[in-house]
A = this chain, B = another copy of it.
Amino acid sequence: MCEGQKPLKVAVLGCGSVGSQVVRLLTEQAGDLAARVGTRVELAGVAVRRIDAPREVDVPEGLLTTDAAGLVSRDDVDLVIEVIGGIEPARSLILSALEHGASVVTANKALLAEDGPTLFEAAEKAGRDLYYEAAVAGAIPILRPLRESLAGDKVTRVLGIVNGTTNFILDKMDSSGAGFAEALEEAQELGYAEADPTADVEGFDAAAKAAILASLAFHSRVTAADVHREGISEVTAADVQSAREMNSVVKLLAIAELRPGPDGDAVSVRVHPAMIPRSHPLASVREAYNAVFVESEAAGQLMFYGPGAGGAPTASAVLGDLVTVARNHLAGTRGPGESAYADRAVLPMGETRTRYHVAIDVDDRAGVLASVAQAFAEHDVSIQTVRQEGRGDDAQLVVVSHEATDAQLSATVEHLRGMDIVREVTSVMRVEGDTE
């Protein structure tokens, strides 16, 4: 099969958690890769910051270099895999690779979410591929199904658990009753959370992935700046307990959905903790696993589940892309590429319709329920269920609203906070994942 075909040369930028596994698989799977691509794929070089750092993989003699810019502009490099991360020098290196005629695979969600359109245009102009399956939900094939398998359908909603660290923490809080700080500490001890957990815990990582998912699902340009973002550091053991009582569980969701806007359907895109019913397929995603739930008009409800991170799983996704990109490179074609033809507006969070779960410590006297209901009514928010619990100092109301705009709902909560009979609003959380 490979007789006579010139081998393809691949440059790998970065040799850390992901890069070292990419290099390992390129070597170990060389035979299978050759059969699947149609010719051998040879390592041209591996760019790193420190030549002498210890590596998880033996890079063949002479291939390590600190001159990434020189590597991507070499004439004999056909394919470039970028697994350095961050904005620069990753962006300049990808742009240079494309200009020099290479096709590119990257796992860099931060860069794609910040400046994807610049990269997509450069790829289009160069007539080369830029693939990035590994950037969202690690090993789980989700971008290719969204872009290709569902190309004949209309996607209406994507709900994803796309950050393993936060899922691990919330799962611990749910299973052990621990508070946020305690669960975070355990995640750090087990290597599921970094020493500085901000990017994960405050939802920045999930927001980058939400932007990428929304762009692909709705054929529109959505960047990280468009994503309303709330993390999980304010989620309390009481919130998680409240969820349990509703037979629900708290998850950090990346949500992208089509919603009626002033000029046709608009995109609502956001990351926040939410309660979802335990019967929802996403509720059973435990520990650091990821899953993406997709709703479309014809296919209905689909879910994609698997490991969302880790060197080897992420490298699997990178190499899956590499095979496609290499085949296209040989054939002189490109894959479907990005399209923003639908050009949908992004709905401000205030106009997004959601549901709220609100737990309120109240004075134990007659008429409290009526007053609280009146507060919701004043903001045009209708109530789905209300539960009275406890007596005396423990008196509590738990209200779940019907859908209303986020602005109406947050105004309602402000209103409640100012009421005499309300001692404290103890838990406010959005509710997702069931059909009204």
The residues of A with any CB-CB pair to B shorter than 8 Å are 1, 21, 25, 29, 32-33, 35-36, 133, 139-141, 144-145, 148-154, 219, 281, 284, 296-307, 310, 312-313, 315-324, 327, 331, 333, 336, 339, 341-342
Given A152-B319, A316-B153, A317-B149: A302 in contact with B298 (beta carbons within 8 A):
no
Closest-CB distance, A312 to chain B (whole angstroms): 4
Of the candidates B300, B320, B333, which one forms a contact with A313 in the assembled complex, judged by CB atoms under 8 Å apart?
A: B300
Question: Chain B contacts of A320 at CB under 8 A?
Answer: 148-153
The distance from the CB of A270 to the nearest CB of chain B, in whole angstroms, is 24
Determine whether the beta carbon of A312 is less than 8 Å from that of B324. Answer: no
**Residue from the set A144, A306, A318, A333 with the largest chain B CB neighbour count within 10 Å:** A306
* Interface-centre pick from A153, A299, A303, A322 (highest chain B CB count, 10 A): A299
Q: Which residue of B lies closest to A283 (CB)?
A: B284
A145 to B312, CA, bound (A): 17
Residues of chain B contacted by A139 (CB below 8 angstroms): 298-300, 302
CA distance A21 to B151 in the complex (A): 15
- Tell me whether A316 and B299 are in contact in the complex, defined as CB-CB below 8 angstroms, given that A36-B151, A339-B36 are known contacts: yes
Given contacts A152-B33, A305-B305, A316-B152, contact A333 B336 (CB under 8 A): no
Alpha-carbon distance A317/B148, docked complex (angstroms): 10
Quick one: given A333-B333, A336-B36, are A298 and B21 in contact (CB under 8 Å)? yes
Q: Which residue of B lies closest to A335 (CB)?
A: B327
Q: Which residues of B contact A296 (CB under 8 A)?
A: 316
Min CB–CB distance A140 → chain B (angstroms) = 6
Check B302–A315 contact: CB distance below 8 A. no
Instruction: Contact check, A307 vs B316: say whether CB atoms are below 8 A apart.
Output: no
Contacts of A310 in B (CB 8 A): 300
User: For A324, what are the chain B residues with a Cβ–Cβ distance below 8 Å?
Assistant: 148, 151, 336
A319 and B153 contacting across the interface, CB-CB below 8 Å: yes
Chain B residues with CB under 8 Å of A302's CB are: 139-141, 304-306
Give the distance to chain B from A125, nearest Cβ to Cβ, in Å: 16
CB-nearest residue of chain B to A153: B316
B residues in contact with A300, CB < 8 Å: 139, 306-307, 310, 312-313
Complex contacts, A306 vs chain B, CB 8 Å: 299-303
Of listed A139, A149, A315, A316, residue having the most chain B CB within 10 A: A149
A327 neighbours in B (Cβ, 8 Å):
336
Shortest CB-to-CB span from A28 to chain B, Å, is 9
A to B CB contacts below 8 Å, 23 in the list = A21-B298, A25-B153, A29-B152, A29-B154, A35-B341, A139-B300, A140-B302, A148-B320, A148-B324, A151-B319, A151-B323, A152-B315, A152-B323, A153-B320, A284-B284, A296-B316, A298-B312, A298-B315, A299-B317, A302-B305, A302-B306, A323-B336, A331-B333
